[in-house]
């Protein structure tokens, strides 16, 4: 069992938990994810890592309830425990693979939307710990949905934008980025965008205009988290990739977002899963119990 040491509500329908999982905390890196399960009847849920403390043996997760299992998770409190807390899974952020001297020359902008703010934080924090200060944009619908503001301000130059203008700047994250470059003279040569699929798509359309390399996290399309169910099958350039085993981060300018979003919609129904399995054959994968690939 993996005890919950701390639990709170960051914003309307957004929850945070600090879980005691020493083996995961000892090995995890920014960009990776874990899989949780509340009990023997619970669904396996992939969640990106928001923070970790190797000395205390803790891992912090942030989630938004979207189904029965994540809704059940909202009822857990300090002192309760997860049956399973598996990880780290996926590949770490590409920033960790760069030469330290090369990394110091980077002018990095992070763009976070909604719950996607959580997996951005450990990357910004990791850079700060290595003497590199990046810029970050947090986007939310309104002031009440802005999360982790204090944490971000302590490790980066932060810009906040809300759709309704109730806090920070008014408008989408793309407008904020465009203003920083066009009106405020900011220069960037590396971008990391994590958030809703539609947000990442339009961020990539904008950064293509500036020839700004952009990394995105395709965690939103994951279901099983082990490459077995086929839910997170993507086209990246001319290749078929799976977000959970090949990512979750990819070159955003190569991701076919329209295809990915269409697959997400189809995968929600039994008929859609069957059709995808028929169309994709051996490359679809299977075995998670959701798509019938194990039968």
Ordered by where they begin, the domains of the chain are 2-86 (2.40.30.10), 99-217 (3.40.50.80), 218-295 (no CATH)
pLDDT of residue 273: 47
Helix (H, G, I), strand (E, B) or coil at 97: helix
pLDDT, averaged per 10 consecutive residues of the chain (295 residues), comes to 94 93 95 90 87 96 86 92 92 89 91 93 94 95 94 96 94 96 95 93 96 90 66 82 84 89 61 49 48 40
pLDDT of residue 294: 39
What span, in angstroms and rounded, lies between the C-alpha atoms of 263 and 242?
Answer: 13
Q: What are the structure tokens assigned to 203, written together?
A: 């961020």
Q: What's the whole-model pTM score? A: 0.85
Token pair 């509340």: residue? 38
Hey, which bits of the chain come out as E strands? 2-11, 14-20, 33-37, 45-53, 58-63, 81-82, 84-89, 108-113, 135-140, 157-162, 169-170, 190-194, 214-217, 233-236, 239-242, 249-251
| Burial class of residue 202 (count of CB atoms within 10 Å of its CB; 0-12, 13-18, 19+) | middle
């Amino acid at each position: 069992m993996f005890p919950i040491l701390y639990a709170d509500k960051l914003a309307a329908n957004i929850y945070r938990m600090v879980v005691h999982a020493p083996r995961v905390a000892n090995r995890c890196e920014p960009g990776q994810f874990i899989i949780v399960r509340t009990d023997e009847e619970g669904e396996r849920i992939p969640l990106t890592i928001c923070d970790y403390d190797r000395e205390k043996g803790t891992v912090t997760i942030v989630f938004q309830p979207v189904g029965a299992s994540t809704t059940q998770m909202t009822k857990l409190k300090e002192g309760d425990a997860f049956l399973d807390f598996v990880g780290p899974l996926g590949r770490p952020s590409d920033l960790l693979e760069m030469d330290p001297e090369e990394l110091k020359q980077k002018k990095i902008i992070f763009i976070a939307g909604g719950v996607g703010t959580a997996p951005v934080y450990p990357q910004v924090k990791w850079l700060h710990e290595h003497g590199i200060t990046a810029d970050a944009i947090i986007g939310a619908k309104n002031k009440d949905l802005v999360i982790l503001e204090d944490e971000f301000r302590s490790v980066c130059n932060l810009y906040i934008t809300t759709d309704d203008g109730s806090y920070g700047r008014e408008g989408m994250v793309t407008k904020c980025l465009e203003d920083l470059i066009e009106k405020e003279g900011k220069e960037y040569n590396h971008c990391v965008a994590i958030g809703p699929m539609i947000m990442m798509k339009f961020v990539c359309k904008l950064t293509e205009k500036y020839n700004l390399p952009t990394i995105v996290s395709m965690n939103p399309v994951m279901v099983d988290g082990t490459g077995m169910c086929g839910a997170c099958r993507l086209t990246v350039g001319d290749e078929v990739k799976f977000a959970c085993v090949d990512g979750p981060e990819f070159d955003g300018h190569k991701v076919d977002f329209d295809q990915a979003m269409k697959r997400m919609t189809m995968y929600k129904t039994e008929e859609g899963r069957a059709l995808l399995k028929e169309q994709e054959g051996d490359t679809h994968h299977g075995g998670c119990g959701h798509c019938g690939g194990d039968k």
